[in-house]
Amino acid sequence: MTLYILDTDHLSLFDHNHPTVVRCVLAARKRTANKLATTVISFEEQLKGRLAQVGKAAAQPTQLVLAYKRLAMTIDSFVGITALNYSADADSRFREFRSVGVRIGTQDLRIASIVLASGGVLVTRNRQDFKQVPGLLLEDWSVE
Predicted TM-score of the model (pTM): 0.90
The whole-number pLDDT of residue 33 equals 74
Q: Which residues pair with 82 in a beta bridge?
A: 37
HEC string of the chain? CEEEEECHHHHHHHHCCCHHHHHHHHHHHHCCCEEEEEEHHHHHHHHHHHHHHHHHHCCCHHHHHHHHHHHHHHHHHCCCCEEECCCHHHHHHHHHHHHCCCCCCHHHHHHHHHHHHHCCEEECCCHHHHCCCCCCEEECCCCC
Quick check: 74 and 15 in contact, CB under 8 A?
A: yes
Strand partners, 137: 121
pLDDT of 79: 80
- pLDDT per residue as tens, the chain (144 positions): 899 999 999 999 988 889 999 999 988 888 877 799 999 999 999 999 999 999 999 889 999 999 999 999 888 888 878 999 999 999 999 999 999 999 999 999 999 999 999 999 999 999 999 999 999 999 999 997
Q: What is the pLDDT of residue 29?
A: 84
User: What are φ and ψ of residue 40, in 5° steps?
Assistant: -60, -25
Domains and CATH numbers, the chain: 2-41+80-139 (3.40.50.1010)
Q: Under a CB-based contact definition with an 8 Å cutoff, are residues 98 and 132 in contact?
A: no
